[in-house]
């Protein structure tokens, strides 16, 4: 049963929020009522930030990560290893990998994954620009760091076929038991892969 809103403007605001992923109409109403309790200046700043976000956000011309400058801080950093490119879905994955402090190469941000269900094909992603980058630069390794989902696997496979003619190493990030997980609760596909892809024991 649809809720009846006492105000058209309220209804519009609830509709705007409930269009966001993971936010239903009940949560949307809670957020709108929260905003109504805030200062006028804060809410205006929120609204204007969203408008500026879409109009002014820029992307690095090399790796296509979100950036305030024409070339992002990672691509323009002379201390990064330019011979390795890590292919990721989005800025979120760049941030997650940067936080591990285990990687010093460059990135290539696809802007999504191939997903026929959502109407996203290879041409909607930054795949051709990756091929161009490999043609124009001396790259020794491409790491495919995409999600372990059907879409991630399909995208990895597509990219692999596109770039396998270049003389470089193509790797994927390891899949296995998460650190801290108990073995008996791991799903069988993950457990099976982690046995197949076992590595020499090292004391670190």
Question: Interface residues with a second copy (CB under 8 A)?
Answer: 1, 3-10, 12-13, 16, 19-23, 27, 29-38, 40, 42-58, 65-68, 72-74, 90-92, 94-95, 98-99, 112
Which residue number, 167 or 180, has a Cβ lying nearer to a second copy?
180
The Cα–Cα gap between 12 and 65 comes to 32
CB-count exposure of residue 5 (10 Å: 0-12, 13-18, 19+): middle
Question: CB of 92: closest distance to a second copy in angstroms?
Answer: 6
Which residue number, 7 or 164, has a Cβ lying nearer to a second copy?
7
Question: CB of 192: closest distance to a second copy in angstroms?
Answer: 30
Looking up tokens 């390795």, which residue turns up?
Answer: 84
The tokens describing 93, both together, are 């994955």
The Cα–Cα gap between 135 and 50 comes to 37
Question: CB of 137: closest distance to a second copy in angstroms?
Answer: 21
The Cα–Cα gap between 81 and 106 comes to 7
The Cα–Cα gap between 31 and 7 comes to 16
Which residue number, 95 or 189, has a Cβ lying nearer to a second copy?
95
Which residue number, 23 or 168, has a Cβ lying nearer to a second copy?
23
Question: CB of 180: closest distance to a second copy in angstroms?
Answer: 17
């Amino acid at each position: 049963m649809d809720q009846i809103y006492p105000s058209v403007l309220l209804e519009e605001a609830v509709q705007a929020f409930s269009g966001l992923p993971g936010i239903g109409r009940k949560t949307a109403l809670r957020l709108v009522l929260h905003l109504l309790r805030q200062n006028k200046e804060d809410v205006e700043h929120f609204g204007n930030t969203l408008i500026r976000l879409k109009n002014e956000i820029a992307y690095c011309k090399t790796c296509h990560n979100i950036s305030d400058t024409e070339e992002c801080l990672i691509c323009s950093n002379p201390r990064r290893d330019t011979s390795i490119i890590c292919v990721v879905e989005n800025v979120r994955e760049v941030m997650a990998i940067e936080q591990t402090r285990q990687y010093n190469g460059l990135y290539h941000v696809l802007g999504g994954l191939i997903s026929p269900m959502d109407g996203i094909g290879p041409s909607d992603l930054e795949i051709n620009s990756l091929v161009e980058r490999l043609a124009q630069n001396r790259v020794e390794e491409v790491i495919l760091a995409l999600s372990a989902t059907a879409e991630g696997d399909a995208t990895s496979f597509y990219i692999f076929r596109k770039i396998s003619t270049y003389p470089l190493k193509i790797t994927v990030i390891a899949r296995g038991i998460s650190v801290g997980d108990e073995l008996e609760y791991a799903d069988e596909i993950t457990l099976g892969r982690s046995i197949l892809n076992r590595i020499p024991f090292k004391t670190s």
